[in-house]
Structure 1
Amino acid sequence: MTAEAETTTGSGTTTTSGRRPGTGGVTARRWAPGTQVLWRYRDNAGGRVHICRPVTVVQDTDELLAVWMAPGTECVKPVLLDGSPVHAEPLATRYTAPRTTARARWTGAGVLKLARPGEPWSVWLFWEPGWLFRSWYVNLEEPRTRWACGVDSEDHFLDISVYPDRSWLWRDEDEFEQAQRSGLMGPEQARRVREAGRAAAEVIRSWGSPFADGWEHWRPDPGWAVPALPADWDRAPARTAP
């Protein structure tokens, strides 16, 4: 966050004056802690929003956006036309079988999501019941686009699990390859995703941020309400500064 003065609007948006690198002097609109926003993903074929998760802002600065998805949050997820989970479809047809979307409650413990502006991945923290920390999850994705009510991205299939003993492993390499065979990702994009994965792996090996920052000890404000899923969860975004 710059040292310039900041003000909080009635909508929960914090406005920071002054130039930021890469914005051409555009005023950044930051969300105050406790603000409820949407974390969304577009599908890889048509660009329509098919994943929507209402979250609560933990921190929003020039360096990091951190949000909390509480247990029991009503979300939108893709499903097969008969309502079956996408992963029930064989891999060979998983990305060509017709889909729709469904509302469902997030079960289990909540998820803390951390994202640095412009970085082609976000890092999610998972706990077992009783706040026993389980793992970090590096979700490779398109750098997020900010808009008035949240952030939008596109999943890149390939992921990394990271454990408290600093061991790590690749996830969903089969889905990453199948997405290419199904035409959802061309060779050049696949190359960039692999490069992003290698860059993320280097951060893990060096135990850089956010792994070394102690976020596994963070806890949500008990006064935060679980955000509601709006009826227009898939509305076109009103753009704001990135």
Structure 2
Amino acid sequence: MLRRLLTRRWLTWLLVAIIWAAACVFLGRWQWHRYEGKKLSQHQVSDNYDADPVSITSILPSKDATLSPEDEWTQIKLVGHYEPSKKLLVRNRPNDGYFGYELVIPFRQAHGPTVLVDRGWIENGRTAAAPKTVPPTPGGTVTVIGWLKPGEQAKNAKKVPGQIASINLDTINRLTGADVVTGGYLLMRSEKPAAPATQKGLASLPKPTPGTYAGINLSYALQWWAAAIGGVLFMLYRCWKEEQEAVHGPKPKKPKKVRIWDEEDE
């Protein structure tokens, strides 16, 4: 078999099998890295989502500090007051299959930096040009608890007064002059005291579920690696079979089984 394998034809097929195996190994590693990333996110959400709230300066010690992936979804507690005159609506935001707005407002802490708070989701009005209602903002001293998230990429979209296309913190600072922390913003979980109409007009955003389907990427990785081995083994099997046929001749075909109704037809 080795002599046959070293012929030009089978060396070509061997090269094809090696290229196939290398591609499968690469794709398997890619799926494995996706599996590890989703698994990390899953543990991260589980560990951070319901943990005790901490101050934002314990995660972002300076105004322009970068939020690390390990600290996303950490619960943060803020005490201070909203700046309702600087509120903005983030348009085209999905929630449970519908599109609407998210209401973001700078929150000035009594002792600490100003933080952007996403108070929740508002449905569209009669058209998508404006929301159905905008709930009032609680006045006075308020305690807000929420989850820390990184800001989003800026979008080049048409300018609408009071609206933005993404939660880009630099853009919000430029529009409002609020000087909010640029390392991340807060997705509100609760506020005390809450605005009277909050439950009517403001919907909370769903709990994140990154990593829920991490197992499917592990399955894909194992399938790609199995395909790498299977491709090489199939090529070797075909070479061995050809060698056996050359030495012993082709395997005789089994006689056709005669069915009883075939005999009756003769």
TM-score in same-fold range (> 0.5): no
TM-score where L is the length of structure 2: 0.21
Larger radius of gyration between Structure 1 and Structure 2: 2
Query: RCO greater where, 1 or 2, for CA within 8 Å and sep 6 or more?
Result: 2
More helix by share: 2
